[in-house]
Amino acid sequence: MELQTAEVISKRCNRSVGYIGSVNKFKGLLKASHFGPTLIVTTISFAFAVHYWWEGPAIVIAFGVFTGQLVVGWSNDLIDYEDDQRHNRTNKPLVSGLITKEFLQKWLRFMVPFSFIANISGPLGLKGGLVYMLGIACGVAYNFYFKFSPLSPLPYAIAFAALPSSIVISKDMNPPTWMWLGGALFGMAAHFINVIKDMKEDHVSGINGLPQRLGTLGSTLAALSLASLGIYVLLRFQ
């Protein structure tokens, strides 16, 4: 009787440990996706999709956008893993041990083709889906190459212009000037703002994108100028 009770307790403990481990892995995947910015981009895509489509297709479009953002976020954490370790960024799930590098690589290998198929086969269609995936490709290219280049704002410009434009293109319409140009300007402004908080660590790591070359003050001025131009474009062309 005591042996049976011990076995039952052991099984329940194993199930509890397995459940906690699964929850931690799920949390790790969300954190590695840079969930805050991912959620913002997904919400923006849903708002545009509701305007040009309606709620049903908008949910499908937003889901496709979400999967693309997972690809960008996960690839970023994988590429930055060693640098994050050097700077002891324990808020990163790979550094904290919440998930392993191999686990994240496995999910990324699944998500890349899944996201591509989800976007081109959904309401965005082939043309809109390819435009959005161009933006995702730019995000991944930034992680691998452009973050070290003076052309680092370029992927942000293309990606932020591609997101809303892909939805308009899916309706066989031409994206208005304010949309793609404003998106490009706000995207570049976001790039400069995003880098400022890690400026010192980036210099130590040899990451020399345009913001790092301009420094904190130069990047702040660049971000303000680009955001102001973006607002002007919205007011001028909308």
Reference 207, options 137, 146, 157, 141; nearest CA is 146
Does the structure show a pLDDT above 70 at 182?
yes
pLDDT tens-digit series, residues 195-228: 999 999 999 999 999 999 999 999 999 999 999 9
Residue with the bigger pLDDT between 74 and 1: it is 74
pLDDT at position 238 is 79
3-state secondary structure the chain: CHHHHHHHHHHHHHHHHHHHHHHHHHHHHHHHCCHHHHHHHHHHHHHHHHHHCCHHHHHHHHHHHHHHHHHHHHHHHHHCHHHHHHCCCCCCHHHHCCCCHHHHHHHHHHHHHHHHHHHHCCCCHHHHHHHHHHHHHHHHHHHHCHHHCCCCHHHHHHHHHHHHHHHHHCCCCCCCHHHHHHHHHHHHHHHHHHHHCCHHHHHHHCCCCHHHHHHHHHHHHHHHHHHHHHHHHHHHHC
Average pLDDT over residues 150-170: 97
Reference 179, options 188, 192, 168, 171; nearest CA is 168
Does the structure show a pLDDT above 80 at 4?
no
pLDDT tens-digit series, residues 34-60: 999 999 999 999 999 999 999 999 999
User: Residues 6 or more apart from 67 whose CB is under 8 A from it?
Assistant: 111, 114, 115, 118, 119
* Number of Cβ within a 10 Å radius of residue 185: 25
pLDDT level of residue 107 (50, 70, 90 thresholds)? very high
Please name the amino acid found at residue 210.
Answer: L
CA 118, CA 175: separation in Å to the nearest integer? 22
Alpha-carbon torsion angle 63, 67, 68, 73, nearest 10: 130
Average pLDDT over residues 126-148: 96
pLDDT tens-digit series, residues 59-82: 999 999 999 999 999 999 999 999
User: Residues 6 or more apart from 121 whose CB is under 8 A from it?
Assistant: 129
pLDDT at position 113 is 97
